[in-house]
Structures are given as structure tokens and as C-alpha cells.
A = this chain, B = another copy of it.
Amino acid sequence: MNKKELFQNIKNKSSFLCVGLDTDLTKIPQHLLKEEDPIFEFNKTIVDATAKYCIAYKPNLAFYECLGVKGWIALEKTVEYIRTNYPDQFIIADAKRGDIGNTSSMYAAAFFKNMNFDAVTVAPYMGEDSVKPFLAYDNKWVILLTLTSNKGSKDFQLIENVEGDRLFEKVLSKSQDWGDENQLMYVVGATQGEMFKDIRKKAPHHFLLVPGVGAQGGSLEEVCKYGMNHECGLIVNSSRGIIYSDTSENFAKGAQKAAKELQAEMKTLLDKYIK
């Protein structure tokens, strides 16, 4: 999917919501455990209930890896299910990979060729040759960790260098030598508030993937106020706040309601900030 199509989907649905599929066997409704593949059954139901209100899904790889082979099967089935039934959804592998060139090429093949994700989150620490192999695919995206939503984001990302830039700003500027806003997005946590202003100084036209509303406490209003651009430029993720909003047998209805509420908020914000 290219940038124009992504923005078109956002306009069509008046939504820039991404539903995070952090699917955890200990948190899903327990009646699903009798199914052959409870993770996939849960995901399928969540997707069917929420697809109308969101433009992206983001399986978090850790939740699948920790189940071994079974998790991997559930992940592949989930991606395939979304791709087949909701072809306009943008599918993000939240994997935070990154390694030396020949190894990153293998990761890129895993996510883009074998599984047909649209995007993968990548960690910048190892620099250019660790990121570039992911940029070699047409209409696929790298979403680079930049200023994350967690407390530990302060440990290294905010360190100021001798030229007066903080590390996350260096990531923003350096990475633009490797690819442009048609291939690259950045992860910026919703908890970062006004810092979105600093992000937009260095990356006015890029899409930002924004986790951290809901369970982590970020404010959607603030994210939009400081982070939205004329093509929206935001994909805001909610995971736990949607998929576990109801853990009874009626979980689909609960998830739908939570997604619909966020979408309604997003519509208001789109109307407010994009003239």
C-alpha cells in the first residue's frame, strides 16, 4: 500500500486507528481455549468486529513467538485472514527487528515476502545497513523506532549530542538519507505529548505510528494537536484498550464499541485539524 492509498483509507473511514493484536492466552475469553487455535479464533472475531472502524492491524510478534510453532501458525493465519477479507487494511508486523545487512534481509523476507505484511517496526541502533534491506521492497514500509512510549525512552533517546540534537532527532535526520516519506514511518509514543512538535520539525511529511493511548496513558487530543499533518500523518494504535475491553463471551461487542468510540473521536479530530 502506498501513502496516497493509506490516506484515502483514512478519509473513507474517518479513522486513523490501528488495532493492536497483542493476543495473550491468559487474557482472552476462556471459552475460546477449547478451540483448536484459540489465538486465531480470537483475532478473527476481533477483526470482524473492528474492521469497519480502523485502517490498520498490528500483531505484536512477541505474543506469537512466546507460543512457539503454534503462535507462528496463528500469526500466519491472522495475516492471511485480514489480507483476504479486508484488503484495504494496512498490516504492521510489530517486530522491532534490526541486524547486520545479510540478517536484516532475512527478516525482511520473513515479513514482506513470506507473510505479506505492509510494514515492519525496526530498531535503529545498528544503523544504515541494518535498515536498508527492509527498504528494498516496493510499497512496503519501515517504521523506525524513534521516541517510544515507555519510561525507558528517556535512557538513550533523549541524550543530547555535541551538535545539540537528541538521539531521536538524529534518528529522524539520518534515516532520511536512507528512504523518504513514501517508505519510512516513525514510532512516536502517544505519551510524548508536546514532543510531537519537535518530531514534526524534522519530519513534517512522514506518517507516525503512535502507540500508547489507552493502557499507557497517552492523550489522543494532544497527539493530534501537535502531530497531525495535512495528510493526517498519524496511525494511532490501541491494543489492550480495545481487544480486552470485554473479556466475557461478548468480547466482540465490547471490542467493537471501544473501536467505534475511538473512531468517533478521531473523526472529530480529523475535522478539527484537517481543513
Contact = CB atoms under 8 A, between A and B. Distances in A.
A66 to B, nearest CB: 4
Contacts of A124: 125, 155-156
A86 interface: no
A152 B167 contact: no
Given A68-B114, A115-B68, A126 B103 contact: no
A54 interface: no
Nearest to A24: B106
Contact of A159 (B60, B150, B151, B167): B167
A155 B128 contact: yes
A168 to B, nearest CB: 9
Nearest to A131: B152
Interface in A209-223: 211, 216
Chain A interface extent, by class: 35 or more
Interface string A167-188: 1001100100000000000000
Interface stretch (A11-19, A92-100, A200-208, A224-232): A92-100
A136 interface: no
Interface stretch (A1-9, A32-40, A69-77, A265-273): A69-77
Interface in A147-167: 148-157, 159-162, 167
B68 A110 contact: yes
A129 interface: yes
B123 A152 contact: no
- A22, A24, A69, A101, most chain B CB atoms within 10 A: A69
Given A69-B76, A72-B72, A162-B161, A154 B167 contact: no
A107 interface: yes
Contacts of A155: 124, 127-128, 174
23 contacts: A60-B99, A60-B106, A62-B97, A63-B103, A63-B106, A66-B107, A68-B76, A68-B114, A69-B69, A69-B73, A72-B72, A96-B99, A98-B123, A100-B216, A101-B150, A126-B153, A127-B153, A129-B151, A130-B150, A156-B174, A159-B167, A159-B170, A167-B167
